[in-house]
Amino acid sequence: MEQTKKIREGNIRIVSRLIRNLEDSEPEARTAIKNIFPYTGKAHIIGITGSAGAGKSTLVDGLISAFRKKNKTVGVLAIDPTSPFSGGALLGDRIRMQKHTEDPGVFVRSLATRGAMGGLSKAVGDAIHVLDAMGKDIILVETVGTGQQEVDIIYNSHTVIVVLVPGMGDEIQAIKAGIMEIADIFVVNKADHPGASQLLMELKNMINMAQIPEDGWPLPVMTVESAFEPIKFGEKIDSLAQNILKHYEYLVHSDQLKSRLHRKTMVEIKDALRTCILDQILSDLEANGELDRLAYKLISKESDPYTLAEEISSRYLKKRPGKPYQKKG
Amino acid sequence: MTERKIRIMVAKPGLDGHDRGARVLARCFRDAGFEVIYTGCHQTPEQIAVSAIQEDVDLVGLSCLSGAHRYLFPRVVELLKEKEAEDICVIGGGIIPEQDFEMLYHSGIKAIFTPGAHLDDIVDWVRQNVEPK
């Protein structure tokens, strides 16, 4: 309880250690989440995604300034990839955000993906809870550089910003499924580079193809450029921040906030079940060497993966003994 | 529970824009399996201390080629102590004359690596002297 109090008071050492313990799946970190959970749910969580080098960190830096001007406290979780070879990582998102380091209203934490494939890290959901309980008004979550498919950010944020830059492909890219579907706000960044007006037009065409109901969110496309001219850049970012807040208002006044919360909590409970049931079974099987023996049974064709899995599940899950998967209806 | 990872911050304090060495080292730490936060150039000791705490690192590696290490390095150690984070180990590197070593060690810098140091030796030093918290 002492820890919960310190988190809520914004004790940086306690908060940053807890996030680390969450990343390392330390058992006591789970207890901490149980304790702080009642104090979460107040922050506006904003996801920023887009390809590597699109300018996400620079936008985050600008957004921190914009929200601080509105007297909102800001937490940032910036994710960069883990090496598949060494398991190490080079986390460089902070470089762009240094001017806020000494502002006590801003907390920035870098996370490595550690093998997660959806553009985030496994600990990010819980880390958001920590910053939320800490009392941050705004939480900015910057994904790794994403391609087409890494859309997990929608399960973790209220407002998703997809950052695009000119010169990445033709108009067919704009109507493909995946990342182009998840935006609440599009940002065409580096809009002073060649090809920007074409990209802008393609995006607008794409949006016009979709049928947005009259009371729906009109999906803004915004341009940002001149990151090295503070006044011009600041103005653009201020209007982006304005649109972000407008989107939240829209969520509150429509049913969307509830349905997004439902979408998020569904994923959260499934993840928790996986951690508490599946991970436990797997580590059990690994520890007693059974997993190895099962693999050999497959190599020797003694059995097949589904028979083995059904045997295991009937052993562990007593209430529904080995019921084979049946398609509904 | 997964294995505890060593987290390192590589930082360049002061007015010194030469960060090739720092980048080489950051990459080398990455390849050694550590999680490395690189802050970029022109950091004040205050920024470095705050960032190190926010990132919960085990080690801060300072690089300085400008000659201001006699002030900048001890100042980072001092600030970490002020913020009750003296458990974060601080090492330094760059163009540092041998006659300054003692003063730096005395101020709390745990190791100094100068041009010619082998990357493997630096990684070995980290493995032997830094226990992830």
Chain A interface test: which of B7, B54, B76 (most A C-beta within 10 Å): B54
Across the interface, of A24, A101, A102, the residue whose CB is closest to B4 is A24
> What is the rounded CA–CA span in Å between residue A152 and residue A179?
10
Instruction: Give tens-digit pLDDT for A283-311.
Output: 999 999 999 999 999 999 999 999 999 99
Instruction: Give tens-digit pLDDT for A197-237.
Output: 999 998 998 888 888 888 889 999 999 998 889 899 999 99
A115 pLDDT more than 90: no
pLDDT band at residue B3 under the 50/70/90 scheme: confident
Instruction: Give tens-digit pLDDT for A171-197.
Output: 677 777 788 889 999 999 999 999 999
Contact, B81 vs A41, CB < 8 A?
A: no
Contact, A321 vs A314, CB < 8 A?
A: yes
> What is the rounded CA–CA span in Å between residue A96 and residue A225?
16
A41-254 is a CATH 3.40.50.970 domain: no
A48 pLDDT more than 70: yes
Note whether B51 contacts A87, CB cutoff 8 Å.
no
Note whether A89 contacts B36, CB cutoff 8 Å.
yes
Note whether B39 contacts A20, CB cutoff 8 Å.
no
Residue in chain B nearest A79 by alpha carbon: B37
Chain A interface test: which of B6, B25, B56 (most A C-beta within 10 Å): B56
Across the interface, of A26, A92, A94, the residue whose CB is closest to B1 is A26
pLDDT of residue B1: 46
Residue A283, helix vs strand vs coil: helix
Give the lowest-confidence range in A8-22, A108-122, B28-42: A108-122
Q: What residues of B are in contact with residue A88 (Cβ under 8 Å)?
A: 29-36
Query: Mean pLDDT throughout A123-148?
Result: 95
pLDDT band at residue B40 under the 50/70/90 scheme: very high
* Average pLDDT of chain B to the nearest whole number: 95
> What is the rounded CA–CA span in Å between residue A224 and residue A140?
18
Note whether A86 contacts B39, CB cutoff 8 Å.
no
A325 pLDDT more than 70: no
The answer for A 246-305 residues in CB contact with B (under 8 A) is: none
A78 pLDDT more than 60: yes
Residue in chain A nearest B2 by alpha carbon: A24
Contacts of A212 (CB under 8 A, 6+ apart): A218, A219
Contact, A111 vs A94, CB < 8 A?
A: no
The answer for A 4-23 residues in CB contact with B (under 8 A) is: 12-13, 16-17, 19-20, 23
Instruction: Give tens-digit pLDDT for A155-164.
Output: 999 999 999 9
CA atoms within 13 A on the CB side of A117: 2
Size of interface A-B (CB pairs under 8 A): 90
pLDDT band at residue A327 under the 50/70/90 scheme: low
> What is the rounded CA–CA span in Å between residue A124 and residue A119?
10
For chain A, give every domain's residue range.
41-254
pLDDT band at residue A317 under the 50/70/90 scheme: confident
pLDDT band at residue A170 under the 50/70/90 scheme: low
Q: What residues of A are in contact with residue B37 (Cβ under 8 Å)?
A: 91-92, 94, 110
Note whether A110 contacts B32, CB cutoff 8 Å.
no
Q: What residues of B are in contact with residue A24 (Cβ under 8 Å)?
A: 1-5
> What is the rounded CA–CA span in Å between residue B5 and residue A20?
9
Closest CA to B91 of B132, B48, B124, B59: B59
pLDDT of residue A27: 87
B90: distance to nearest CA of chain A, Å? 17
DSSP string, B91-123: EEEES--GGGHHHHHHHT---EE-TT--HHHHH
Contact, A127 vs A140, CB < 8 A?
A: no
Q: Which tokens hold the place of B85?
A: 């984070």
Domains of chain B with CATH codes: 7-128 (3.40.50.280)
Q: What residues of B are in contact with residue A107 (Cβ under 8 Å)?
A: 54
Chain B interface test: which of A20, A58, A83 (most B C-beta within 10 Å): A20
DSSP string, A206-260: HHHHS---TTS----EEEE--TTSHHHHHHHHHHHHHHHHHHHHHHHHSSHHHHH
